[in-house]
Amino acid sequence: MSSIDETHDPRRTSWVASAQGHPEFPIQNLPLGVFSPPNGSPRGGVAIGDQIFDLQAGLEAGVFSGAAAAAAEAAAGAALNRLMALGGNPRIALRRRLSELLSADGAERRKVEPRAGQLLHNAADCTLHLPAAIGSFTDFFAGIHHARNGGMRRDPNNPLNPNYKYVPVAYHSRASSVRPSGVPIRRPSGQRKAAEDDAPIFGAAQKLDYELELAVWIGPGNELGQPIPIAEAGEHVFGLGLVNDWSARDVQGWESQPLGPFLAKNFGTTVSPWVITTDALAPFRIAQPPRPAGDPRPLSYLWDETDQETGAFDITLEAMLMTEGLRAKGLPPHRMSASNTTDLYWTLAQLIAHHTCGGCNLGPGDLFGTGTISGPTLEGYGSLMELSGDGQRQITLGSGETRTFLQDGDEVIFRAHCRKAGCVPIGFGECRARIA
């Protein structure tokens, strides 16, 4: 597992001036992604302040060697899958080398700073793409407050299904419609039927919603038929990002029995383009919060002491909404909720161990959503379904507008940050899209 090293040193600063105090991308973060510079082709890059370090240009300039060069080569193309396949050590070698190259005090500064014109691009001038070719996308249901809120209408006394505390519940979602932050989402049409109606109708979804989730980018993965043991599962997490699992609640309500969501979820999913590596997140690892008294202990294939001690993360997540009315009045986005990854009932290693326990193969670039991460109270609810009580409560915005579900022109913005005393805070960048 990645450990704390010189790349996390809070005293380390970068000769890239904008990295100092940058709320997302100081030198301690170094997230990986795929971008196109102006008039250039898609390629691998690393965010540093308001700049992007071009891995292809770095290779051409000969600034990498050994394992770092192999990792940079695997990450320099139009998708990070080949780097994801390599596992932790080359990825860590690349991180340490990048930190050394970009460090203000580093012996390498004089080699790279004069070439900044070739090696760095203004992020604002670049286009960000999906970080990987996504083979499969699985969406879990690991946020227990969201699961409980969703089950309240079915049975207020027993909102969680009997399997919830034993099974990391998920469904296989759709990889083909995942898009990076910034690509608009079209309101889907589908069948819906209100309880009081005799027959369904077809038309534009009326209850369009977002879901605030963590993205998990899978690393090496496994061969078909070869489960990943829980003790090794953490090594298969390449890094994290944000997912907006757009959901048409009226379509979902009618179609989901008995096989689960289908068209309600497959019309579009937005992910943040930067992958925050598990190495960057090492200082923000924490113990999995203890289960409430009376909850069952996970079955043994989902139980590992080390995973329980260090397998969770302390990441604050925020959902914001921008509307035409807020824009017209020059107001900032309305903050809808804030929650934390400690609200996940399962660790990421448990999700991987469960996904593969029957032999299902995961591959580099596969994507997991954790499921909506809601806090225990209204301020933390990570979807409009929960915030509006399925449309029963109006949410009033600073512009005077009200919402229960999303209207055309609304833009949903997710952010995430890690903060801890003695550490430089890091961020995930944005996961943003507007309803077209």
The secondary structure of 108-128 as a DSSP string is THHHHGGGHHHHEEEGGGSEE
- Point out which span in 210-218, 250-258, 327-335, 428-436 binds Ca ion (CB under 5 A): 210-218
Considering beta carbons, is residue 121 or 249 the nearer one to Ca ion? 249
Touching Ca ion, residues 176-195 (CB under 5 A): none
CA–CA dist 252, 139 (Å, integer): 15
What dihedral angle (degrees, nearest 10) is formed by the CA atoms of 215, 216, 218, 222?
-120
Cβ pair 405, 384 in contact under 8 A: yes
The 14-53 contact track toward Ca ion, x by CB under 5 A, reads: ----------------------------------------
**DSSP annotation of 399:** T
The footprint of Ca ion on residues 241-260 (CB under 5 A) is 245
Q: Is 146 a catalytic residue?
A: yes
Of residues 8, 145, 146, 355, which has the active-site annotation? Answer: 146
Q: Please identify which residue in 24, 54, 139, 318 interacts with Ca ion, judged by CB under 5 A.
A: 139
Residue 214 CB, nearest approach to Ca ion (Å): 11
With respect to Ca ion, which residue has the nearer C-beta, 308 or 350?
350
> Contact region for Ca ion (CB under 5 A) — 24-32, 107-115, 204-212, 327-335?
204-212
Q: Residue from 211, 386, 401, 410 that binds Ca ion (CB under 5 A)? A: 211
What is the dihedral sign for C-alpha 12, 14, 18, 23? negative
- Which residue, 28 or 350, has its beta carbon nearer to Ca ion? 350
Q: Is 366 in the site for Ca ion (CB under 5 A)?
A: no
Residue at token pair 């929650």: 339
164 vs 73: CA distance, rounded Å: 43
**How far apart, in whole angstroms, are the C-alpha atoms of residue 408 and residue 397?**
16
β-sheet bridge partners, residue 414: 319, 431
Q: Is 411 in the site for Ca ion (CB under 5 A)?
A: no
Q: Compute the least distance from the CB of residue 360 to Ca ion, in Å.
A: 19
209 near Ca ion (CB under 5 A): no
**Considering beta carbons, is residue 139 or 279 the nearer one to Ca ion?**
139
Stretch touching Ca ion by CB under 5 A, among 62-70, 195-203, 239-247, 313-321: 239-247
Burial class (CB in 10 A: 0-12, 13-18, 19+), 230: buried
Angstrom distance (rounded) from CA 192 to CA 200: 5
Among 190, 250, 266, smallest CA distance to 385 is for: 250
Q: What are phi and psi of 42, to 5 degrees?
A: -60, 140
State in angstroms the smallest separation of the CB of 5 from Ca ion: 35
| Number of residues counted as binding Ca ion (CB under 5 A) | 3
Shortest separation between residue 371's beta carbon and Ca ion, angstroms: 5
CA distances from 52 to 37, 98, 107, 412 (A): 9, 12, 21, 25
Residues that bind Ca ion (CB under 5 A): 139, 211, 245
Residues with a catalytic annotation lie at 146
